[in-house]
């Protein structure tokens, strides 16, 4: 029996029992759909996160207090008070860090912003006047505060888009005064809308000296941002900042550093590793349904062998060999699973595309649809392999049936 005829016979056998064939491949469809959905959304999330991190700039260096760790103690380490005014002055000194173009301290706080009867929870970023240069974050109305405002502890703020929307209800916020922690601040600028993927929309910027005085009540910094004068000097600048801080803190053993110096590329690499691991884990969980689907196919195929005993006997009586019967039933299993794989890929890609549209248009995330070609190809191959593996036993059982006994079967 030629392979072409075997395929035709297998397809005929499957189309004769359409409902049973459809129910059989549901497990495979669900498994492949889940894998495509997880892989597509995982890559989309990774692109979104890495895009935000890379938006910091290729030459941006961030110095944090404490050791950077993704363990349970990360929060307490990040709030370490190891970065002080003397550290800022040493890093600004060109003798210590010759290729530092910009150096800016930042403090982080939070509070409720109040204007009239409107109240909105905001993040407070105390910074220097260099935010527009370092983060490319320019107000679309008003201006950013100046170095003079920083030195004089001016009570001025630049607010994010959502802060404006919630507090001012369409009124012009420039020149108005808001209260945060019972202190009054004058609004001098409004940032453009950045979308749900950015925290700047919920942020209030003020001079870091003002934030330390009226919001956090601290004398240390939550981070010191350094921008190298070129990408070529980025590595040497990181080394200079590290050495400067170790000398400042009298640290001779690098394992005892009470600070962390990282670049946007370092952060992107770490986040990429984490997102890849999570995506792989979720895809592996989704793949379990493929095994379940394979077992379901084996059970259905065994039932099919029993129901088609007379058909098997008739084929053997007219010359079909055990190998022909084995090939036919194996092909039926592989066709079922491969069809389920293709349907699952189409369904998974469609759902991923719809979700990406919702995230982009409704939630305002800068989300891009990604079709995981490697996962799609692998999905079809794995689905076919599942059909082959779980179809061997029922196909083998069918091939062993005696023609005489099969023809007498009722």
| Residue recorded with tokens 């941002």 | 225
What pLDDT sits at residue 74? 41
pLDDT for 122 beyond 80 = yes
Give residue-wise pLDDT tens across range 316-365. 666 667 677 777 777 777 787 788 888 888 998 899 889 888 887 776 66
What pLDDT sits at residue 73? 42
pLDDT for 173 beyond 90 = yes
Sign of CA dihedral 223, 228, 231, 233: negative
User: Which two three-digit tokens encode residue 344?
Assistant: 């699952």
What are residue 125's DSSP bridge partners?
108, 205
Q: What is the mean pLDDT of residues 108-119?
A: 92
Separation between Cα atoms, residue 194 and residue 199, nearest integer Å: 8
Give residue-wise pLDDT tens across range 195-233. 655 678 889 999 999 999 999 999 999 999 999 988 889
pLDDT for 288 beyond 90 = no
pLDDT band at 72 (very low <50, low <70, confident <90, very high): very low
What pLDDT sits at residue 28? 80
Q: What is the mean pLDDT of residues 138-147?
A: 93
Separation between Cα atoms, residue 326 and residue 305, nearest integer Å: 11
Q: Give SS3 for 393.
A: helix
Q: What is the mean pLDDT of residues 121-133?
A: 93
Separation between Cα atoms, residue 141 and residue 192, nearest integer Å: 8
> What is the DSSP annotation of 254-269?
GGG-SEEEEEHHHHHH
Whole-model pTM? 0.61
What pLDDT sits at residue 372? 83
Separation between Cα atoms, residue 92 and residue 86, nearest integer Å: 10
Q: Are 167 and 173 in contact (CB under 8 A)?
A: yes
pLDDT band at 402 (very low <50, low <70, confident <90, very high): low
Buried b (16+ CB within 10 A) or exposed e, 254-272: eeebbbbbbbbebbbeebe
pLDDT for 255 beyond 60 = yes
**CA nearest to 122, candidates 152, 165, 155:** 165
Q: Are 293 and 28 in contact (CB under 8 A)?
A: yes
Give residue-wise pLDDT tens across range 289-302. 677 777 777 777 77
Q: What is the mean pLDDT of residues 380-404?
A: 68
pLDDT for 104 beyond 50 = yes
pLDDT for 161 beyond 80 = yes
């Amino acid at each position: 029996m030629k392979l072409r005829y075997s395929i035709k016979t297998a397809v005929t056998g499957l189309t004769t029992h359409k409902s049973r064939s459809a129910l059989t491949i549901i497990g495979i469809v669900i498994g492949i759909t889940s894998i495509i959905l997880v892989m597509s959304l995982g890559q989309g999330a990774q692109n979104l996160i890495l895009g935000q991190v890379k938006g910091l700039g290729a030459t941006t260096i961030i110095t944090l207090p404490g050791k950077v760790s993704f363990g349970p103690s990360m929060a307490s380490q990040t709030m370490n008070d190891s970065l002080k005014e003397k550290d800022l002055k040493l890093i600004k000194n060109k003798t210590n860090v010759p290729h530092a173009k910009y150096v800016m301290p930042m403090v982080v706080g939070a509070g409720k912003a109040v204007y009239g009867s409107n109240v909105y929870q905001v993040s407070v970023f105390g910074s220097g006047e260099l935010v527009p240069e370092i983060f490319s974050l320019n107000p679309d109305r008003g201006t950013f505060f100046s170095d003079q405002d920083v030195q004089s502890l001016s009570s001025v703020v630049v607010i994010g888009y959502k802060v404006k929307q919630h507090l001012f209800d369409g009124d012009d916020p420039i020149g108005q005064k808001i209260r945060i922690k019972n202190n009054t601040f004058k609004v001098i600028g409004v940032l453009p809308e950045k979308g749900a993927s950015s925290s700047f929309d919920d942020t209030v910027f003020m001079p870091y000296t003002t934030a330390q005085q009226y919001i956090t009540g601290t004398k240390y910094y939550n981070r010191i941002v350094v921008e190298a004068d070129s990408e070529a000097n980025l590595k040497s600048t990181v080394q200079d900042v590290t050495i400067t801080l170790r000398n400042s803190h009298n640290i001779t053993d690098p394992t005892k550093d009470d600070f962390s110096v990282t670049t946007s590329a370092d952060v992107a690499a770490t986040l990429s590793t984490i997102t890849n691991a999570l995506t792989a884990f979720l895809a592996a969980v989704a793949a379990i349904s493929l095994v379940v689907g394979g077992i379901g196919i084996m059970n259905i195929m065994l039932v099919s062998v029993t129901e088609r005993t007379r058909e098997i006997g008739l084929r053997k009586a007219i010359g079909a060999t055990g190998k022909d019967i084995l090939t036919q039933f194996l092909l039926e299993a592989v066709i079922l699973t491969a069809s389920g794989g293709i349907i699952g890929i189409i369904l998974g890609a469609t759902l991923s595309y719809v979700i990406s549209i919702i995230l982009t248009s409704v939630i305002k995330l800068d989300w891009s649809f990604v079709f995981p070609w490697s996962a799609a190809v692998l999905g079809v191959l794995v689905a076919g392999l599942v059909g082959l593996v779980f179809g061997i036993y029922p196909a083998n059982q069918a091939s062993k049936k005696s023609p005489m006994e099969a023809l007498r079967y009722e």
